Amino acid sequence: MRVCFGFRYSNFVFGSLTATISTATLNAMKLVTSTEMNLLEKRAVESGISLADLMRNAGQAVATEICGLFDSFPGKKALVLIGPGNNGGDGLVAARSLKDAGAIISVYLLSPRDPEDFAYKQVLEADINPIDVQSDAGFSKLRKILDETDLVLDAVFGTGLSRPVTGAPAAALALVAEVREERPEMIVIALDLPSGLNPDTGEVDDSTLAVDYTITLGYAKRGFFLFPGADYTRQILVANIGIPEGLDDDILSEVIDEHDVLAILPIRPSDAHKGSFGKVMVVAGSAEFIGAATLACQSAARAGAGLVTLAARRSLHHIFAAKLIETTHLLLPETMHNELAPEAAEVALSKLTKYDAAAVGPGLGQAPETVEFIHRLLSGISENTKLVLDADALNALSLTPDWWKVFDRRAVLTPHTGEFARLSGLSIGEILANRMEVCRKKAALWGKVVVLKGAHTVVGSPDGRIAVSPSANPGLASGGTGDVLTGIIASLLAQGLDEFDAARAGVYIHAMAGEAVRGNIGDAGMIASDLLIQIPRAIKSIKEHDHASCH
Ligand SMILES: NC(=O)C1=CN([C@@H]2O[C@H](COP(=O)(O)OP(=O)(O)OC[C@H]3O[C@@H](n4cnc5c(N)ncnc54)[C@H](OP(=O)(O)O)[C@@H]3O)[C@@H](O)[C@H]2O)[C@@H](O)CC1
Ligand SMILES: [K+]
């Protein structure tokens, strides 16, 4: 069975922006490091599969995926670049399978290979004469082949890269890149990963090709969702190489996928009333940031909450009342200088007991009175009210040393990189260098679900799980889109989801809404309020996908 996931809404951007992923197995949505991949390989071998079998499966699966990319494959010209290790071995098996499928094959050896190796023998048995860069007139032949080939399969290096790429491999990859400029119709496919891409960090070598397809083996690699690597993989296909089910139960990283989201979305009974879908209180807004509060309230409603109440400063009520007609309003007392009054927290707390979830922070500002208000609110809020904290609530938290020891209840935090830096004391560079691991570690230390926003948003759970958004949409890098995400997550919390589920489903729905807008108008000029109507559409689409796949 072949299962596809990714965004059906978008125009399937094969560019650097969104990972469109197809998987051959359901568990292939897990995300691995090279160490984890080696561990899974070891477990597979211990369970009785030989390394040669795995390589045979890998090469054949890659060839099958490649054939599936073309309406008619026989007669296509394919060039396979072979490196020194097992990635090259997979390439040799793929070359043989592609020949069997009718391709006209050229195999180009960038390092010597053992002629006794089974994969090499398979190639010779099929009357393929590998060209050896060291003895066969080198690059003039390569250039000639490149001028005519329909596709190039990059099987130079895989997960075993140990140093910068130099010499013949670097020169060959550079030549492919050069010819591709002249012949954009030539398809470039990476076997397992684009050679030179670090599967753990997403770093790339100078020679790494930005390919059209990455056919990865068994599991997607973390580096595909970290930059700059994420710009090099384009469409990712996960090939089933026969690693038995159940060996990956302790792999705790995943790409968020529509099937998961469908499974965790709340069921909405037909005889529902507004109490059925939860009540959200949004504590937000200031004279400077009117829009943040508005967007968070509207998105909470659009994500399905039964009732949304905005708790905001009394002096802003007339503006909010005009903008938010479905929302109810709690007027927070102010001082004569229009700052939140000391008793404002108690006013909010006295009402909050009737709410299932609260979103605190969007656009509150950072005046000392506001910080005091947030601290009081957070220290008094009942465990029965689920919480999502964003923006100025996070800024207020980070003013307290070891804030997580003081604020020690469950919550979802939704920091962007700057807010995460303030909360953690890490530099922006340290966070960007390894977003997934940093998010996982801090979620565990803080005891919170942490949504580290950005291209390929990462959701970390205190129990060590991480879930990564398949989307990287520059259109979402604009003011207010974070407030929309906060509203969606609060809404899902109020509808009964736990913190991790609400966060990963919220991130997915938000991303899907963003892809829908990008599909309509492109990624420049998207504004946060464009997302609002797309939220229920995204939820509907997820539910209909299930319906469609049942028939
Ligand atoms: N895991 C699995 O389940 C399965 C994995 N499979 C496949 O195995 C692949 C990993 O294989 P791999 O370990 O042999 O690594 P790979 O990248 O092919 O080459 C390493 C070789 O390159 C060399 N070398 C390194 N850097 C270099 C440089 N810059 N310049 C020059 N040389 C350099 C390095 O030499 P060394 O560092 O030892 O000097 C070594 O000789 C994986 O991606 C997948 O395709 C499947 O077959 C089946 C199931
Ligand atoms: K490769």
Residue-wise pLDDT for 243-257, tens only, equals: 999 999 999 999 999
Residue 460's DSSP bridge partners are 450, 466
Query: What is the average per-residue pLDDT within 362-389?
Result: 97
Give yes or no for residue 26 having a pLDDT over 60. Answer: no
Per-residue pLDDT of 379-395, as tens digits, reads 999 999 999 999 999 99
Query: What is the average per-residue pLDDT within 173-188?
Result: 97
Query: Could you give the percent of the chain with pLDDT greater than 90?
Result: 87
Residue 138's pLDDT is 73
Q: Was 416 annotated as part of a binding site?
A: yes
Residue 136's pLDDT is 65
Q: Return the percent helix, strand and coil in the chain, to nearest 5.
A: 45, 15, 40
Q: Which of 157, 191, 192 to mutate to test the pocket of ligand 1 (most atoms within 8 A of CB)?
A: 157
Residue 139's pLDDT is 84
Give yes or no for residue 17 having a pLDDT over 50. Answer: no
Residue 10's pLDDT is 30
**Binding site membership of 85 for ligand 1 (Cβ less than 6 Å):** yes
**Binding site membership of 165 for ligand 1 (Cβ less than 6 Å):** yes
Residue 546's pLDDT is 59
CA atoms of 34 and 199, how far apart (whole Å): 6
Residue 374's pLDDT is 98
Q: Which of 38, 45, 53, 87 to mutate to test the pocket of ligand 1 (most atoms within 8 A of CB)?
A: 87
**Binding site membership of 170 for ligand 1 (Cβ less than 6 Å):** no
Residue 502's pLDDT is 98
Give yes or no for residue 29 having a pLDDT over 90. Answer: no
Give yes or no for residue 548 having a pLDDT over 80. Answer: no
Give yes or no for residue 201 having a pLDDT over 50. Answer: yes
Q: Was 293 annotated as part of a binding site?
A: no
Q: Which of 47, 80, 81, 162 to mutate to test the pocket of ligand 1 (most atoms within 8 A of CB)?
A: 162
Q: Which of 217, 248, 251 to mutate to test the pocket of ligand 1 (most atoms within 8 A of CB)?
A: 217
Q: How far is the CA of 106 from the centre of ligand 1 (A)?
A: 21
Tell me the pLDDT of the chain averaged across its residues.
Answer: 92
Query: What is the average per-residue pLDDT within 186-213?
Result: 97
Main-chain phi, psi angles of 322, to 5 degrees: -75, -35
**Binding site membership of 81 for ligand 1 (Cβ less than 6 Å):** no
Residue 30's pLDDT is 94
Q: Please, which residues have CB within 8 angstroms of residue 341's CB and are 6 or more apart in sequence?
A: 332, 333, 334, 335, 369
Per-residue pLDDT of 115-131, as tens digits, reads 899 999 999 999 999 99
**Binding site membership of 138 for ligand 1 (Cβ less than 6 Å):** no
The neighbour count for residue 321, using CB atoms within 10 Å, is 13
Per-residue pLDDT of 256-287, as tens digits, reads 999 989 999 988 878 877 777 899 999 999 99
Residue bearing the CA closest to ligand 1, atom 38: 162
Give yes or no for residue 196 having a pLDDT over 90. Answer: yes
Residue 133 binned pLDDT confidence (cut-offs 50, 70, 90):
confident
**Binding site membership of 157 for ligand 1 (Cβ less than 6 Å):** yes
Q: Is the separation of the CB atoms in 153 and 176 below 8 Å? A: no
Q: How far is the CA of 85 from the centre of ligand 1 (A)?
A: 4
Residue 421's pLDDT is 98
CA atoms of 263 and 268, how far apart (whole Å): 13
**Binding site membership of 87 for ligand 1 (Cβ less than 6 Å):** yes
Give yes or no for residue 7 having a pLDDT over 90. Answer: no
**Binding site membership of 37 for ligand 1 (Cβ less than 6 Å):** yes
Query: What is the average per-residue pLDDT within 398-414?
Result: 97
Query: What is the average per-residue pLDDT within 301-309?
Result: 97
Q: Give the residue carrying structure tokens 């005009």.
A: 322
Give yes or no for residue 521 having a pLDDT over 70. Answer: yes
Closest ligand by atom to 165 CA: 1
Q: Was 483 annotated as part of a binding site?
A: yes
Residue 5's pLDDT is 34
Length of the chain: 551
Residue 122's pLDDT is 95
CA atoms of 190 and 62, how far apart (whole Å): 10
CA atoms of 516 and 538, how far apart (whole Å): 8
**Binding site membership of 54 for ligand 1 (Cβ less than 6 Å):** yes
CA atoms of 364 and 373, how far apart (whole Å): 10
Q: How far is the CA of 238 from the centre of ligand 2 (A)?
A: 14
Give yes or no for residue 373 having a pLDDT over 60. Answer: yes
Residue 16's pLDDT is 29
Residue 313's pLDDT is 97
Q: How far is the CA of 220 from the centre of ligand 2 (A)?
A: 13
Using only C-alpha atoms, the chain has a radius of gyration, in whole angstroms, of 26
Residue 73 binned pLDDT confidence (cut-offs 50, 70, 90):
very high
Give yes or no for residue 14 having a pLDDT over 60. Answer: no
Residue 21 binned pLDDT confidence (cut-offs 50, 70, 90):
low
Q: How far is the CA of 51 from the centre of ligand 2 (A)?
A: 18
Residue 135 binned pLDDT confidence (cut-offs 50, 70, 90):
confident
Question: H or E element: which one contains 187?
Answer: strand 187-191
Q: Which domains does the chain have, with CATH numbers?
A: 31-244 (3.40.50.10260), 259-549 (3.40.1190.20)
Give yes or no for residue 12 having a pLDDT over 80. Answer: no
Name the residue among 505, 483, 502, 485 with its Cα closest to residue 494.
502
Query: Could you give the percent of the chain with pLDDT greater than 70?
Result: 93
Paired sense of beta strands 386-389 and 357-360, if any: parallel
Question: H or E element: which one contains 131?
Answer: strand 131-132
Give yes or no for residue 4 having a pLDDT over 70. Answer: no
More confident residue, 266 or 185: 185
CA atoms of 340 and 286, how far apart (whole Å): 10
